[in-house]
A and B are shown apart, each in its own frame.
Chain A
């Protein structure tokens, strides 16, 4: 950006008057002025943006961390490992792991069908995939209630059981893997697959050795997003899971219940500590994904 100066020595002089005294033309000066005008642009924007993020996102989260730790690490640990909290977290993790596996299979299948198959109405199906992102979670909950509740037309009564939690989460996490894998599959090089087929490789081998490595990073990222979403999900399970401690209570509901059972709606250490546990799990999952994605793209660049 800096223009080569006509008189390097004079321009480097300590006194500005000396520089102007040499009657060196303005361009360097004006370019410097422009450079000075340019620099604050990004800086001021970044400053205001960071302030906004701090007030909206970081300050509240810092308050949770402070509350979780204000009785020391011992209290934090006790709150996070209280029997009801531990059971809720265990259920949350198991259910989210099931969601991750289910999505890995069904998401890849749907993405494959949407990319490699042709059939009438494909575009409608493609648009439908985003529906769970658009539908409010509480609506998802009431939708499942109408299908699996006491007046279920199918005679299925799954309310207040563990399977309904999985179904609710399958509904809200449907788009993640499909939308991550689909674009990669679309751009995948099919010549390698054809070459492998010509050399006598079976479809299973081609899928394992060629397609899976190609979609691997995208698949992993979709699974991770679905898992992180499942960990903290609240609205879609709130009407259907019955919220029974030690049976169907997930961590988000455990936290909400702690607050609702306090008269003035205050947050106690148990609610704050378990919030931090949820945050940390989701944060590390997403961090691991970013690291894997970065490594993947570097490999790709090589």
Chain B
């Protein structure tokens, strides 16, 4: 398709204008609003005990979700690529299922399993573990929504590299474990890294599911996203902006890492 210079320019202008109105202006305004009373006010606002505790709780939940989803994600990807068992299509569909589930439904479902009137709620409470309205429930909600990322990023890489090198290593006397650490893991590292960073970005921002299974008590069960909402509800709008900007900065860092990893992945 050969487009005239004028048509090309107008298409470009249209696309850039759309992005500017939808993305850049809102982001610019929130940065302006956050810092309009000076940087020190922002620093004060994100170093209150509640904010610091929300930050560390977020890191803790993200950390658990990343570790578990990495272990089980790589395992699942390996199994899906290497095994020749029928019915794999069904497992593939289940891996994708969290993409189709609303975060609110995630919260609903966890309450129905682990809540007071849920299937196993009383059993867990009798054994001294409260899941709903407590951190374990928030962890479960976060893991649920981030299940697909590592599997989906690692699987195609595994498919592409095949098993020849591993077999060669086995011939040379390497154990399964050695072959995995020395051969498989290094060759999937960029894909895995990309999957992990997607998991981190999604887990950091999880709100809907977590909000239903947490009482959002400051210093106890409040993540950064819940802090934004609770500050807004308490009419502390500038505090909400500050917390949102902190989250956004983390998101942008994740995005930069994502771009770099994506380039490495395609070049590798």
Residues of A near any B CB (own CB < 8 A): 41-43, 45-46, 48-50, 52-53, 56-61, 63-64, 66-67, 106, 109-110, 112-114, 116-117, 119, 125, 127-139, 142-147, 153, 167, 170-171, 174, 193-194, 197, 203, 206-207, 210-211, 225, 228, 231-235, 238-239, 252-253, 255-256, 259, 264-267, 271-272, 275, 278-279, 282-283, 285-286
User: What are 24 A-B contacts with C-beta separation under 8 Å?
Assistant: A41-B83, A42-B85, A45-B83, A46-B85, A48-B75, A49-B76, A50-B91, A52-B75, A109-B14, A112-B11, A113-B16, A125-B19, A128-B24, A132-B23, A134-B258, A136-B224, A143-B27, A147-B26, A153-B29, A194-B2, A255-B104, A256-B212, A275-B108, A279-B101
CB < 8 Å neighbour of A228 from B100, B143, B204, B248: B100
Q: Which residue of A has the minimal Cβ distance to B3?
A: A203
The distance from the CB of B80 to the nearest CB of chain A, in whole angstroms, is 7
Report if B57 contacts A (CB, 8 A): no
A42 touching B201 in the complex, CB below 8 Å, given contacts A109-B14, A138-B229, A266-B116: no
A61 proximity list for chain B (CB < 8 A): 97, 101, 109
Please encode chain B, from 98 to 112, with 1 for each CB lying within 8 Å of some chain A CB and 0 for all others.
111111111111111
Q: Which residue of A has the minimal Cβ distance to B204?
A: A136
Within 8 A of A (CB), among B99-139: 99-113, 115-119, 132-133
Among B111, B116, B254, residue most surrounded by chain A Cβ atoms (within 10 Å): B111
CB < 8 Å neighbour of A255 from B75, B108, B133, B255: B108
Besides the contacts A131-B23, A147-B26, A286-B99, what 4 more A-B pairs have beta carbons closer than 8 Å? A134-B205, A197-B2, A239-B229, A255-B108
Q: Are A56 and B85 in contact (CB under 8 A)?
A: no
Q: Are B94 and A58 in contact (CB under 8 A)?
A: yes
Closest 6 CB pairs between A and B?
Answer: A232-B102, A42-B83, A136-B205, A45-B79, A60-B109, A49-B76
B109 proximity list for chain A (CB < 8 A): 60-61, 63-64, 275
Report if B268 contacts A (CB, 8 A): no
A146 to B36, CA, bound (A): 13
B117 proximity list for chain A (CB < 8 A): 264, 266
The distance from the CB of B37 to the nearest CB of chain A, in whole angstroms, is 14
Q: Are B22 and A271 in contact (CB under 8 A)?
A: no
Q: Which residue of B has the minimal Cβ distance to A276?
A: B105
CB < 8 Å neighbour of A252 from B25, B102, B205: B102
Q: Are B79 and A46 in contact (CB under 8 A)?
A: yes
A267 to B104, CA, bound (A): 12
B208 proximity list for chain A (CB < 8 A): 137, 234-235, 238, 252, 256
Q: Which residue of B has the minimal Cβ distance to A144?
A: B26
Q: Are A234 and B116 in contact (CB under 8 A)?
A: no
Q: Are A234 and B207 in contact (CB under 8 A)?
A: yes
B108 proximity list for chain A (CB < 8 A): 64, 255, 259, 267, 271-272, 275
A288 to B97, CA, bound (A): 14
Q: Are A117 and B205 in contact (CB under 8 A)?
A: no
Q: Are A267 and B112 in contact (CB under 8 A)?
A: yes
A134 proximity list for chain B (CB < 8 A): 201, 205, 251-252, 254-255, 258
A266 to B224, CA, bound (A): 25
Report if B56 contacts A (CB, 8 A): no
Residues of B near any A CB (own CB < 8 A): 1-3, 7-8, 11-12, 14-16, 18-19, 22-27, 29-30, 33, 72, 75-76, 78-80, 82-85, 88, 91, 94-113, 115-119, 132-133, 140, 143-144, 147, 176, 201, 204-208, 211-212, 224-225, 228-229, 232, 240-241, 244, 247-248, 251-252, 254-256, 258-259
Q: Are B133 and A43 in contact (CB under 8 A)?
A: no
A143 touching B244 in the complex, CB below 8 Å, given contacts A49-B79, A138-B207, A171-B22: yes
B104 proximity list for chain A (CB < 8 A): 232, 234, 252-253, 255-256, 275
A171 to B110, CA, bound (A): 28
A2 to B12, CA, bound (A): 60
Among A130, A135, A210, residue most surrounded by chain B Cβ atoms (within 10 Å): A135
Q: Which residue of A has the minimal Cβ distance to B91?
A: A50
A206 to B26, CA, bound (A): 37
Q: Are A142 and B72 in contact (CB under 8 A)?
A: no
B100 proximity list for chain A (CB < 8 A): 228, 232, 279, 282-283, 285-286
A145 to B240, CA, bound (A): 11
Q: Are A286 and B96 in contact (CB under 8 A)?
A: yes
A232 to B193, CA, bound (A): 28
A45 touching B144 in the complex, CB below 8 Å, given contacts A136-B225, A143-B30: no
Q: Which residue of A has the minimal Cβ distance to B133?
A: A265
A129 to B22, CA, bound (A): 11
A231 proximity list for chain B (CB < 8 A): 102
Q: Are A174 and B22 in contact (CB under 8 A)?
A: yes
Q: Are B259 and A109 in contact (CB under 8 A)?
A: no
A110 to B23, CA, bound (A): 13
CB < 8 Å neighbour of A207 from B1, B30, B247, B258: B1
A171 touching B23 in the complex, CB below 8 Å, given contacts A43-B85, A131-B255: yes
A194 proximity list for chain B (CB < 8 A): 2
Q: Are B80 and A136 in contact (CB under 8 A)?
A: no
A170 to B23, CA, bound (A): 10
